[in-house]
Each structure stands twice: as structure tokens, then as C-alpha cells.
Amino acid sequence: MGEQVQTPAAKIKKKKRDTAFTRVMKYTGVRLIALFLTVAIGVYLTIMIANMGGYVDEIMKGSIRENITMQLRMDDGYQEMAPEAKAAYLLAKIENEEKRLGLDEPFIFRSFRFLLNALKLDLGQATFMSSDKGSRSVRLIILERLPSTLLLMGTANLVLFFVTIVVALILSRKYGSFWDRFFVAASPLSAMPSWFYGIFFILIFAAVLKIFPFGGMIGSPPPETTGQYILDVLYHLTLPAAALIISAFPARVYNWRTFFMIYSSEDYVEMAKAKGLSAKRIRNRYILRPTLPMIITSFSLMIIAMWTGAIITETVFRWPGIGRLIFRAIGMNDTAVIVGTTIIYAYMLAATVFFLDFIYALVDPRVKIGGSKQKQ
């Protein structure tokens, strides 16, 4: 009986919690649908571009016809057939091959089936490419390349992320010093892309000094013991990682420095200084804390960037990662592989955007999920 009696205060509390909960749920739902649609449209556009609006099919049909005609020319049994039987046999073979590659349906249907499979993360079979182990599955091809890309991009990005923030924090406290001016002056150097630094590193360290390899991920023949293998990979990793780090370093430091400087000139920081708080406490509580959302965004975008790899840097250093895979897939017109990498990228980005909203709410009390219309 007692259960039914509720104090007015509890009633109000419950109602409030309900609205907060439904608000979050509603927001989450709407956001999820919006992001899903965005991913779907992005993936579909990629499919359309990768397939040239169906034009690639015509090219493929042409090459299938040619290949089969060539094959049959070598076939003695085929040569002895009657002309009508010959024509019928040829047509049947072509049809069979087109069916194998899924070319018998009109493109518009196929593109939607492709989209549906893509969204289900069923990446399908590659048309021309295969993994080093010989598999045609796009998922396996991508998975095989993933570790090397993660190694390269992970090393470079993690070093970049933490080192630039630390350097920027130090610089923001000592502005006008030599190193501060140095990084301000050096920031235009980041206009040069990493492959460009890569070519120079190859020139200096591989061609002239001969202390690092020209490219690749492992020496030939590969070393036998695991320890030596790891050392050899690290040895090959040095130049590409250095190129990625150094090309982005000055601009990142400059951006973070400016960002920290703006935050450390806020009134509450001055107030904390006046109160006589320790420099460490000021840094952690008054500068880093409010900049946390920005730092998290930067970190998650960095993780997404790791997925696509660095197409040109990997190509220049012959690094067997996803970037080079994309380049080769495009060279071979392998739509399935191109779309596969795009889907993964799109999903990663969408998931990051989605979770960022919640993380912001956790770290920044000013942000209320679904509360205000200001989303950024």
C-alpha cells in the first residue's frame, strides 16, 4: 500500500529524470539515424564514383569477351565445333563469366545490393586483387594490410600527438623565447606533405649516407629470430615514420601553442595564479581541463586518420599498408576493395562523431546532450 503513496517531491524528481532520459534517448536515436543516413549516402556516392555510374561494367564486359575469345582460340575441341554451336558456346561462356562477376543485373540494382552488403559490413569478394595468402575476400585483404598501416600510422600519430602537446604546453608558458619564435617561424614548413619529406629522407639517409633502407617493411631475406625481425621492422619503419612526424610537427605545435595561449590568458587562470597555486596545478586543472574536449576530438580524428593510411607516403616508401592497397586497387579498377576501405573509414568516422557527443558531455559540464541547439 505504501508504495502508492508518493511525496510530491519524489514525483517531480521522477518526472524530471524521465524527461532527461527520454531527451537523451530521443537525441541518441535521431543522431544515430542521421549518422547512418550520412554513412549510407557517403558509401553510395563512393560506389557510384568507383563504378563510374556503371561505365566500368562496359569496360569489364569488353575485356571478358576478349579474354574468353582468346582462351577458346587455344581450345582444339572448340575449333572443331560447327559455327552455330561455336557461337552459342562462346555466348554461354561469356554469360557465365558475367554472372560470376555479377554483371548480369542492371547496374542500378547491383549498386543498391552492393550498398546493402556494404552497410552490413559484408565486404564481398575482390574482382582482381588477392591477399598475399591468396584469398579473394576483401575483408581478408584489408585485414592483412591493416597491421602494417597501424604500425606506421600509429607510431607516427601517437608520437605526434603527445610530443606536440607537451612541447606546446611548455612553449605557451614561455612565449617570446627562442624556441617559441623558432616554432612560429618553422610552422610554414608543414605546408610540405609527408611524402615530400620522405623523398628527401630517402635521398639523404638511403642514397647518400646509406644508413637506412630505401623502402619496404622487412629486409630480404627476412631475419629468422623474432628479435631480429622486430629490429628489422623498426629499422625500416624509421624513415617513413620520421617523414610523417616531421612534416606535421611544426604546424601542430604552433596550433596547440596558440590554443593553449588563448586558454591560459583567461581570467580564471590569472585568478589561480594570483591565489598562488602551483604551476602544475594550474596546468592540469585550469588549462588542460577546459581544453580537454578539443584534445579528445583531435585524438579521435587522429585514430580515424590511421585507417586510410598515408596513400602517397606508403607508396613512396613501398610500405605494404592500406594506403598502398587503395592505390593499387584503384590502378586495377577493383571496385570492391575501394568501396571496402571507404566503408570502414565512413563507419569509423561516424562512430567517432557519435561517441564524441557523449564524451563532450562527460568532460564538459557546460554541454548538455540534446539540450541546446548549438552542436559543434
Partner 1 sequence: MSGIKKIFKELKNFPTAIVGLVIITILIIVAILTVIFIPYSEAKRQWRGDEAAVYLNPMNARPAWTNILRKDKWPESFNVVFSESDDVTYTVLPREEDDSEFKVVTEMSYSFEYDYGAFPQEILLYFEADYINSKPFIEIRVLTPEGRDIRIIRKGVAHTETYRFNQDLKLEQKLGEKSALIGLFSTIDPKDSDVPEVAKGTYTITVTSQTFEEGSNVDLEMVLHGLVFGATGTDHRRRDLTVALLWGVPIALLFGLVAAVGVSVLSMLIAAVSVWYGGWVDTLIQRITEVNMLLPFLSILVMIGTFYSKSIWTMLGAVILLSIFSAAIKTYRATFMQLRNAPYIEAAITYGASDWRIITKYLIPRIIPLLIPALVLAIPGFVFLEASLNVLGLGDPVLPTWGKVISDAYYQSALYNGQYYWIIQPAIMLIITGLAFAMVGFALDRLFNPRLREQ
By CB under 8 A, residue 327 contacts partner 1: yes
The Cα–Cα gap between 102 and 110 comes to 8
Put residue 321 in one of left, alpha, beta given phi > 0 → left and psi -120 to 50 → alpha.
Answer: beta
By CB under 8 A, residue 326 contacts partner 1: yes
| Binder of partner 1 out of 25, 91, 143, 185 (CB under 8 A) | 185
The Cα–Cα gap between 241 and 146 comes to 16
Q: Do residues 192 and 181 make contact, with C-beta atoms less than 8 angstroms apart?
A: no
Judged by beta carbon, residue 95 or residue 266, the one nearer partner 1 is: 266
> What x/- string results for residues 37 through 56 when contact with partner 1 is judged by CB under 8 A?
-xx-xx--xx--xx-x--xx
Residue 162 CA to its chain's centroid (Å): 19
Provide CB contacts within 8 A for 331, sequence distance 6+.
Answer: none
- Shortest distance, position 371 Cβ to partner 1, whole Å: 17
The Cα–Cα gap between 359 and 373 comes to 17
By CB under 8 A, residue 176 contacts partner 1: yes
Report which of 226, 224, 227, 207 is spatially closest to residue 215, judged by C-alpha positions.
Answer: 207
- Which of these ranges, 14-22, 24-32, 74-82, 334-342, lies near partner 1 under the rule CB under 8 A? 334-342
The Cα–Cα gap between 282 and 260 comes to 12
By CB under 8 A, residue 134 contacts partner 1: no
Judged by beta carbon, residue 55 or residue 268, the one nearer partner 1 is: 55
By CB under 8 A, residue 199 contacts partner 1: yes
DSSP state for residue 137 in the 8-state scheme: B
Q: Which residues bind partner 1 (CB under 8 A)?
A: 34, 38-39, 41-42, 45-46, 49-50, 52, 55-56, 175-176, 180-181, 184-185, 187-189, 191-193, 195-196, 199-200, 202-203, 206-208, 214, 258, 262, 308, 311-312, 315-316, 326-327, 330-331, 333, 338, 341-342, 345-346, 349-350, 353, 376
